[in-house]
Amino acid sequence: MPKLYKSIFVFAFALNLGGLFFMATPLAARAAAVNVPVDFQPQVSIPGSVFSNTAPVTGGVYDPVTRTTSSDLLAKYIQAIYNYGLAIGGILAAIVLMAGGVLWLVSAGNDSKITQAKELILGSIIGILILFGSWIILNTINPDLLKLKVISPMSISQETLQGIVCCDPANGGTRFDVTTKDGKKYYNSGDKKGQEWPGCTQAMNFKKVTECPDANYSCVSSPQSLIGADSFKCVNNDDVCCSCQTGLFGSITNSFCQNHTKMSNCDSICATKGNGSYTTYIFPGTYNCGPALLGAVAICSPPGGWSIK
pLDDT tens sequence across 186-202: 998 888 888 999 999 99
User: Which pLDDT score is estimated for 166?
Assistant: 93
pTM above 0.85, yes or no: no
Q: How far apart are CA 58 and CA 62, in angstroms?
A: 11
Residue 282's alpha-carbon distances to 63, 83, 113, 210, in angstroms, are 50, 74, 103, 18
Helix H segments across 157-265? 200-203
User: Which pLDDT score is estimated for 287?
Assistant: 84
What is the percent of the chain with per-residue pLDDT over 90, rounded to a whole number? 5
Whether the CA torsion 59, 60, 64, 68 is positive or negative: it is: negative
pLDDT above 90 (res 148):
no
User: Which pLDDT score is estimated for 165?
Assistant: 92
pLDDT above 50 (res 283):
yes
Q: How far apart are CA 162 and CA 4, in angstroms?
A: 67
> Could you tell me the residue ranges of all domains in the chain?
3-146, 157-215, 221-309
C-beta contacts of 59-64 below 8 A and 24+ residues apart: 59/29, 59/31, 60/29, 60/151, 61/37, 62/31, 62/34, 62/35, 62/36, 62/37, 62/155, 64/35
Residues in the chain: 309
User: Which pLDDT score is estimated for 24?
Assistant: 36
Please indicate whether residue 6 or residue 164 has the higher confidence score (pLDDT).
Answer: 164
Query: Can you tell me the mean pLDDT for 126-151?
Result: 81
Q: How far apart are CA 175 and CA 162, in angstroms?
A: 10
Cross-strand pairs, 231: 222
